[in-house]
Amino acid sequence: MKALKILLDTSFLLPIVGVKVEGDVDDLLKRLWVKFRNREVEIYYTELNLLEISWILSRRAYDPRIQQYLRQ
């Protein structure tokens, strides 16, 4: 049986780098991981996903509230 190919959206990749998102993303990622390990699915992402994640992380790094928290 051929593995199902899945292209992940950035919102599904953000929790992997520690950014919380709304919805049941964590549960879905756990289920996808099991299917991936069983070779039932192939998981893909694009370079644009990585670029978007880097933008999101850089915005958070410059957020004054986060800067203040890090200084504590």
pLDDT tens string 1-60: 799 999 999 999 999 888 888 888 989 999 999 999 999 999 999 999 999 999 998 887
The residues, any chain, with a CB within 8 Å of residue 20's CB and separated by 6 or more, are: 14
65: pLDDT strictly greater than 70: no
DSSP string for 1-27? -PPEEEE--HHHHGGGGT---SSSHHH
Q: 3-class SS at 38?
A: coil
What per-residue confidence (pLDDT) applies to 68? Answer: 63
Residues spanned by the domain of 22: 4-71
What per-residue confidence (pLDDT) applies to 34? Answer: 97
72: pLDDT strictly greater than 70: no
Do strands 41-44 and 4-7 pair parallel, antiparallel, or not at all (unpaired)? parallel
Count up the domains in the chain and report the number. Answer: 1
Q: What number of other Cβ atoms are within 10 A of residue 26's Cβ?
A: 12
What per-residue confidence (pLDDT) applies to 8? Answer: 96
